[in-house]
Amino acid sequence: MQYNLKIKGLLLALLFVSNLFSNNFSQSIQKLSNDKYWHTLLHFKNGESQIDSNTFFLHINGKNNPLLELNATISNLEHPLFKDDNSTYCKFPARRVWIEKNFNTLNIKKQTCTKLDDELKSINNINTISLIFPTTHINSPASMFGHTLLRLDNKNKDYLSSYAINYAAFTNEKNGFVYAWQGLTGGYKGKYSIIPYYKKINEYSNMENRDIWEYELNLNKNEIKNLIYHLFEVKHHWSKYYYFNKNCSYEILWLLQSARNNLNLIEKFNYKTVPIDTIKEIYKSNLISASNFRASKQKILLKYYSLINDKELAMEFYNTIDKSLLKNITTSEKKYILNFSMEMLRYDKTKSNITQDKYLRKLLKILSLRSLLGKDNELFISKPKNPVFVHGTNKVAITYHKKNINLEFKPNFHSPDDLDFGFIQGAYIDFFKLNLNINQNKELSLEDISIFNIKSYAKRNTIFKPISWNVDLGNEIFLNNKHYSKIKTSFGVSYGNNNFLNSILIMNNLRYKNNFYYSYGINYFAQYSLNNSHSKFVVDSKIEKINSKLYKLYDLFYVQNINKNLNFKIGYKKKLYSNYAYLGLSYYFD
């Protein structure tokens, strides 16, 4: 009897302790399910996971509930439903490592992870990770929005054979309009992929002629391993791709955050994710340890061309590949002409200006001549300003004229009245610009709205002859001071040098209010940059024929920066029904 009681007492005590223990345990699970790193591993933000494929979650409500997902993950680790490569242990290595670290009392069943081990083997010589930023395409301002990806730098710093991690939307859509719409509304599945870095170089630097910035990150071995583990668990899953906020640059931030626990990157981007803003944020988080600039093929071509003394001879040689033309010139001039010819030929090939057969015959002739001349002289191409230091992408401006106050807001990106420091002169893109006016009676009214306004004023030279163009979509004040919707397009040519840009364009404007109004005209645009792009003069003048009447319209102004994110502006404007001098201040922020 007594003995029995003792046993009962002991059992009760045990039950009590184990209850206490399991209470403690469930409390700590509860607590850790709110841990920032767990949320990072689930891509959990604003109450749900941003991953949209169901197979990513081990609990049916895992997308919305990190606690249930944590419980399910722990339960799968302790009582595996599948073996080895198919087990949670192998499929979710980043979750597993984090759980092991935080709960040392669990009875996790070890599994053999062949696939994961293979993956680790092929990447175990990763030394550093770099953030890659292909910058503006010279004749496509839209590309200034840019793209970012990661590169896994191998030990001997042999970047071409290193792997890159790219996030992209997958589609078979060929219709441009559908494609744009789907991209804006989350109609495509975005996924991470792993590709050799040379493919990216071929695409950006060789084909599209974009310069590439490569930022080496200071992630250590362990952090790199975290990232690779996390990549392994998310790469088979997808998220809805949204062009403006959940894009390539945004999803790359999840990976960085999985590498280093205390980073706050994802939180900074909600409504828009501009690639350059993510780079600035990464820079501010002290992740960047070195920057490297990789010039585009087009830049290299122009550099060789500029080093040639007899440019006519070079062009004649390129056209004829007659080696007797190179007889009486110095070896270094010969090298420049031959190097220039190779790059020119490659350019013509990518543009399909030349047939495959002709390309091959020319190429081998040029190259075999070049192979007789020994080593190359080092080519020095000056680095442009590091994009990390450009002005913020958000802008608020206030302008004063004739007792009126004009307010301008825009979330994106860069236009002629912003300074070009760190940007390519002549490449402009604005999204959702809003202009409001407060008149002397303190009445607020809408001045104009720009949905988008893209200007591509790429300078022509002896080699490249790009067309300059402008597309402007929005709403503005037009006849009788009434608001009209507008689609304006113009095409023309631009010339200039490093500081001077000079464009002339033919305008075709379509406006709508009850009826369509078509007008045409000429636009002369010029700007002169001073002090290393810290100030500039701009002339934007138009002659437009509206209802068989000619109107002269212009805007002349000078912009001077006070600091990186603050500009002062003074100008004179002639509009349809008014003209005035104005003073303004612009403020930029990230």
Contacting other proteins within 168-197 (CB under 8 A): 168-174, 176-177, 179-180, 182-184, 188, 191, 193-196
Minimum CB distance to other proteins smaller for 206 or for 415: 206
Q: Is 245 helix (H, G, I), strand (E, B) or coil?
A: coil
For 244, counting Cβ atoms within 10 Å of its Cβ (0-12 exposed, 13-18 middle, 19+ buried), the class is: middle
Q: Decide whether 67 or 301 has the Cβ nearer to other proteins.
A: 301
Residue 170 vs 389, nearer CB to other proteins: 170
- Tell me the CA distances in angstroms from 340 to 109, 194, 195, 313, 459, one per residue in order: 62, 34, 30, 12, 20
How far is the C-alpha of 552 from the C-alpha of 224, rounded, in Å? 61
Residue type, 136: T
Nearest-angstrom CA–CA distance, 114 and 64: 31
Interface residue with other proteins among 55, 306, 320, 368 (CB under 8 A) is 368
Q: Which residues contact 349 (CB under 8 A, 6 or more apart)?
A: 359
Q: Which is nearer to other proteins, 236 or 385 (CB)?
A: 236
CB of 259 to other proteins, least distance (A): 18
Task: Please state the closest distance from residue 229 (CB atom) to other proteins, in A.
Answer: 14
Task: Indicate left, alpha or beta for 474 from its phi (over 0: left) and psi (-120 to 50: alpha).
Answer: left
Q: Which stretch binds other proteins (CB under 8 A): 23-31, 35-43, 45-53, 363-371?
A: 363-371
Q: Please name which of 152, 147, 159, 158 lies closest in space to residue 130, comparing C-alpha atoms.
A: 152
By CB under 8 A, name the one of 37, 145, 428, 525 that touches other proteins.
145
CA separation for the pair 499, 531 (Å, rounded): 10
Strand segments, DSSP code E, in 185-269 are 188-196, 210-217, 239-241
Residue (312 or 357) nearer to other proteins, CB: 357
User: How far is the C-alpha of 436 from the C-alpha of 420, rounded, in Å?
Assistant: 25
261 residue type, one letter: N
Residue 44 to residue 31: CA distance in whole angstroms? 16
26-85 residues near other proteins, rule: CB under 8 A: none
356 or 563: CB nearest other proteins:
356
Among 97, 108, 142, 398, binds other proteins (CB under 8 A): 142
* CB 208 within 8 Å of CB 137: yes
**Least distance CB 349 / other proteins (angstroms):** 4
- The least distance separating other proteins from the CB of residue 133, rounded to whole angstroms, comes to 11
User: Which stretches within 187-247 are classed as H helix?
Assistant: 197-201, 221-234
Nearer to other proteins by C-beta: 330 or 356? 356
Bridge partners (DSSP) of residue 413 are 430
Pull the structure tokens for residue 64.
């919305």
Contact set for other proteins, span 200-239 (CB under 8 A):
202-204, 206-208, 210, 235-236
Sign of the dihedral through C-alpha 248, 250, 253, 254: negative
Report, in Å, the least distance between residue 176 CB and other proteins. Answer: 4
Minimum distance of other proteins from residue 238's CB (angstroms)? 12
Which are the contacts of 326, defined by CB distance < 8 A and separation ≥ 6? 317, 334, 337, 338, 369
| Site size for other proteins (CB under 8 A) | 82
Among residues 415 and 499, whose Cβ is nearest to other proteins?
Answer: 415
Write down the least CB distance from residue 305 to other proteins, Å. Answer: 16
Element spanning 69, H or E:
helix 66-78
Among 6, 199, 552, 575, indicate the residue that binds other proteins (CB under 8 A): 199
Of 351 and 482, nearer to other proteins (C-beta) is: 351
Measuring CA to CA, how many Å separate 472 from each of 342, 423, 448?
39, 20, 12
- Which residue from 241, 318, 336, 457 is in contact with other proteins, where contact means CB under 8 A? 241
Residue at 259: amino acid letter = A
Please select the residue that binds other proteins; options are 28, 100, 376, 572, rule is CB under 8 A.
376
* Interface residue with other proteins, options 65, 87, 247, 529 (CB under 8 A): 247
Give the footprint of other proteins on residues 323-362 (CB under 8 A): 338-339, 342, 346, 349-352, 356-357, 359-361
Residues 152-171 that bind other proteins (CB under 8 A): 156, 158-161, 163, 166-171
Burial class (CB in 10 A: 0-12, 13-18, 19+), 490: buried
Nearer to other proteins, 142 or 449 (CB): 142
> Which CB atom, from 11 or from 379, has the smaller least distance to other proteins?
379
Write out the binding residues for other proteins, residues 502-541 only, by CB under 8 A.
none
Q: Which residues within the stretch 453-472 sit at the binding site for other proteins (CB under 8 A)?
A: 454, 456, 467, 469, 471
Please report whether residue 415 would count as binding other proteins according to CB under 8 A.
no
- From the list 64-72, 102-110, 138-146, 521-529, the region that binds other proteins by CB under 8 A is 138-146
- Residue nearer to other proteins on the CB measure, 69 or 208: 208
